[in-house]
A = this chain, B = another copy of it.
């Protein structure tokens, strides 16, 4: 038994079996899968429901103990692992999903429900959840809310913020804010749920979410388009958006990433001749979208080759190169990863400058760039850089800012980019955010070091 008096109090709240201090048991909570972010927790506490979360947060308040909330621990930016000494509050046991409200097209899910479980639950009721991402088997509702998770369907349904009709959350003082009625129009004061979405655990601990579901769409077509580069791809996006309804995904990969997938994983290039870039477009609708898609592509001179698939296996084949990017990069070496958004009008210029910057700052490095093109969201992976140090972060993120882009599209700021927030938010903006942080967490005990650089 631990001599820590807080551990004893927490054991009373959640039961002794759910307060972990043995390093063998706590280890998996204390580092993320990048291996870059790790720290020892004072203890890991696993409450079962909102009342227990309240008890945990109150006890931590009494003991002036900082708290790091954690969902599926699939983040990449050090947003949900301890620096050292914090109470690690795992929401994994809040895994209850309520029956689907088919009339409203909504469901209430606990913070610990995985995305895959939520998707299955929605499908059983004949509906879909509007967000999908590769970490679906481990990523949780609470974590996706806290980071405003994006993924491949943002072009159709928006980010997680657009799915959240309401939230229940425990504030730093242990009080509970609950807006779970599922009212799509409810203008009674400030949008606290919207404020908590993307706040990365620094303002409150999300315990439940009321989520919008979307109709299942019976017709689904994927088209892989060979294009000469990023500028052509951007022009195609504008053309498609103005002429095709039901765009579900608009994904971009480049020659270097295609070859990496071929080399590392044996994935086949869908085209027999090599092209500078591929744009993968998926369209789904209540009716067959093929004629509209064909019309929209008719006369699109920037498209050199097209492959279309309207059945599941065919779509999977067209997606394979795009889906393989992350794994192929991991197999090729340790990559420096950036997740950025550029205005569509600046995307091609940024991409050109990026090559120049890397040639100068990291000679011999390779940039593997892919992403969600409708939102201008690029995942920039730098392989074989001799100097994988913080200077590269500053140079790449500075380049993004110089093109009016965002240094954090969908992965969040976490601890990784806390020192770079000034690149996207000016002094007045940061002061307003800090004032809100102080208002809701005056002692700064929720996820210290995340979003705001830590004093130590």
Contact = CB atoms under 8 A, between A and B. Distances in A.
A436 interface: yes
A162 B122 CA distance: 23
A312 interface: no
A454 interface: no
A243 to B, nearest CB: 6
Interface stretch (A39-47, A356-364, A384-392, A401-409): A401-409
A399 interface: no
Contacts of A244: 286
A122 B190 CA distance: 29
A453 interface: no
Interface string A378-422: 000000000000000000000000001111111111000100010
A192 B197 CA distance: 11
Given A238-B102, A409-B187, A410-B187, A432 B181 contact: no
Number of copies: 2
Given A431-B175, A435-B439, A188 B241 contact: no
Contacts of A248: none
A114 interface: no
A455 B412 CA distance: 41
A226 B191 CA distance: 37
B185 A191 contact: no
Interface string A148-191: 10100010001101100000000100011111011111111111
Interface stretch (A23-31, A65-73, A341-349): A341-349
Given A189-B413, A425-B188, A343 B181 contact: yes
A432 B442 CA distance: 12
A228 interface: no
B191 A161 contact: yes
